[in-house]
Amino acid sequence: MPTVLLPSGEKVEVSVKIEARSYPRCVFLELAAELSPTFVRLAKGDEAKTNQFNGMLADGLEEWSGGIFVRQQIVGSIASFNNIQQTATALCTVLKKLDDYGTAVLQDALAEGPNADVSKLCDALSALAIAAGKAGGLMAAKIGHQAPRGRRKGTKEYFNLGALVYYLEFAAQHADGRFTYDKLNRKGSVVQALDLLKLHLDRKLEWKRLSEFLPRPGRHPLSMYEREITRARTEVARIRSARE
């Protein structure tokens, strides 16, 4: 467990626990059922295997959204840690600026409390600021989070999208189909499927908050799609080979 060193020389452990909260499984199955027939046709799969595709698509939607919810929790916590760090630092700075009389008055006011020493109170605030900064940094490292600077770039804007693309192709392969992509012309059936998914989510109040994590038409990261589709095809080929 990470530790920070207090001005007093004491070490304090920093521990952060993140729990994912998403929708229940049945909700993903229902959403997948609304989309699977169209997606199977786009992938030119066997429509008789739509039910199998549906279950795998539900898995992908659940993993994708679960990752997003975890990220949102982490981003919220990072903001809270930043506020704690700034507030604790500011309070410590104000305490250090107190003259002897002000310090004595505050000392008397604290005399009956657990932190009767003003200098120790400042040490505790400094430790809190250090710990908050450390915790925020550790959480930011988990998701590659950076403070916003202008327009977001790259696939970080569409966090965990790779997991969804992987499951789309994984499901398509099991339905004897495959999604296509054309990096040069920035089109393909996988682009069509994701555009349809975004439109579908936008139309449903309970899902609308997830649609922002899907690319807008014409803004798809095709290189990432290629990587995840290739990975899914490789995994399906490995599974089939092991069964033979």
CA atoms within 13 A on the CB side of 153: 2
In terms of DSSP H, where are the helices of 175-221?
189-202, 208-211
> Residue 25 contacts by C-beta under 8 Å, 6 or more apart in sequence?
58, 62
CA distance 49 to 56: 11
Q: Give the DSSP letter string of 48-71.
A: GGHHHHHHHHHHHHHHHHHHHHHH
CA distances from 149 to 83, 95, 164, 201, 219 (A): 19, 33, 27, 28, 19
The amino acid present at 241, given as its one-letter code, is S
Task: Characterise 154 by phi-psi region: left (phi > 0), alpha (psi -120 to 50), beta (else).
Answer: left
> Residue 123 contacts by C-beta under 8 Å, 6 or more apart in sequence?
6, 7, 8
Per-residue pLDDT of the chain (244 residues; tens, 9 = 90+): 444 444 444 454 544 444 444 578 899 999 999 999 999 999 999 999 999 999 999 999 999 988 887 777 777 788 888 888 888 888 888 888 877 778 788 777 777 655 567 777 788 888 888 888 888 887 777 666 544 444 334 445 688 899 999 999 999 999 999 999 999 888 999 999 999 999 999 998 888 888 989 999 999 999 999 999 999 999 999 999 998 7
CA distance 10 to 124: 11
